[in-house]
Amino acid sequence: MIMDSNLWFYVLSVVPQTLGAMIALSATFIIFKLNHVEERTKIEYDEIKDWILPLLPELKIFEITKLDDRAMLSKLIDAINKLDPQKSRFGLDEVRFHQLYEIYEYVLRSHKRKIDSYENIYPYLEEKRRVLTSLIEVRRNALTYLWISLALSVVTIASSIILLPLYGVFGTYASEIIGAVMILAVFSVLFTAYSIWDIARRDLR
């Protein structure tokens, strides 16, 4: 059965408008989330480099400031591995231990928290590792989701616009073509909705 031309024009007109609005909204949300991630990453970056210096004395300050997020995470893991939580003072010499504890005291005071045992330094650094890992993962996923959503929407929108004036050519197969466009549009919407949900649920604390 040949599809009515009005339905053909309606569907192929509505799909680009709907996807265009959806992409604009989702891109706005993802960019907002990325800005938040960047701000939080900078805060973590500034604190983590203070922890790394006494534990990795071979690194110079100017070298640390040039590290990207993944390199900083790698250095933080190296620094944590220098600590042995089973030994007194983590197995560090007196000078490095006091440097580390002074940093810990400063951090606690800046957060208006009570000074506690040095043994809590290790779990604190592990928490910093978890947070930085999470921030890197959220940024990577957000960018990946954004590009895939854009690609799906652009393909669907372009297909709809190209096919719109060609009812006379493809009228016989209109039902199949409209069905394919709708499947692609629905998949694009579902993927974008999942992307926003997955990014929104990430805990950046």
The pLDDT tens digits of the residues spanning 134-148 come to 999 999 999 999 999
In one-letter notation, the amino acid at residue 148 is: I
84-135: pLDDT as tens digits? 989 988 998 888 899 898 998 888 888 777 777 888 999 999 999 999 999 9
How many Cβ atoms sit within 10 Å of the Cβ of residue 143? 12
Decide if 141 contacts 199 (C-beta within 8 A).
yes
pLDDT at 3: 65
Q: Check if the beta carbon of residue 88 is closer than 8 Å to that of residue 60.
A: no
- Contact residues for 11 (Cβ-Cβ < 8 A; gap 6+): 160, 178, 181, 182
35: Cβ–Cβ under 8 A, 6 or more apart, which residues?
none
CA–CA separation, 54 vs 96, rounded Å?
Answer: 6
Integer angstrom CA distances of residue 65 from 18, 88, 199: 45, 31, 28
> Which among 74, 191, 69 has a CA at the least distance from the CA of 138?
69
The dihedral built from the CA positions of residue 43, 49, 54 and 55, taken in this order, carries a sign that is: positive
Q: Give the rounded distance of the alpha carbon of 25 from its chain centre.
A: 17
pTM, rounded to two decimals: 0.79
The model's confidence at residue 174, banded by pLDDT at 50, 70 and 90, is confident
Confidence of residue 155 (pLDDT cuts 50, 70, 90): very high
Q: What type of residue sits at position 141?
A: N
Distance CA 14, CA 33 (A): 29
